[in-house]
Amino acid sequence: KDNLCLFGYPNRWWEVNQPVAYLPPEIPEPTLGISFCRNGMQRKDWFSLVAVQSDAWLLAVAYFWGARFDHADRDRLFTMINDLPTLYDIVTESAWVQAKEKSSVSSNSSNKPLSTAN
């Protein structure tokens, strides 16, 4: 199959399948052709590429719907999105490294006396 897309469903399942003939006009189109460069890449690099494309699509959908929000709600949406790791972070495990660093910094800082500087 030459032209595949990654589809995410509300029940947290993902599916790689051929693109549908009709997409509802109310959502941005997913990136087509995630399988084009699969055979010429290492598996790890291909998963990273799919994760980046998926992140871009998820952000496009979030901000498509968020365009109807007022400033405060858009700011809240942006903050909520930034509080979560991206798919790319999860696939490349950088989210786990950052979490480890945060926990080691917070445990080290709890052992140090507080500064009296303002």
Which tens digit of pLDDT belongs to each residue from 64-106? 889 899 999 999 999 999 998 888 888 887 656 666 676 676 6
How far apart CA 33 and CA 49 sit, in angstroms, is 11
| Domains of the chain by residue range | 5-17+26-94
3-state secondary structure at position 27 = coil
How far apart CA 65 and CA 9 sit, in angstroms, is 17
pTM for the predicted model, two decimal places: 0.62
pLDDT reading at 61 higher than 70: yes
Question: How many CB atoms are closer than 10 A to CB 91?
Answer: 19
Which tens digit of pLDDT belongs to each residue from 11-28? 877 787 777 777 777 777
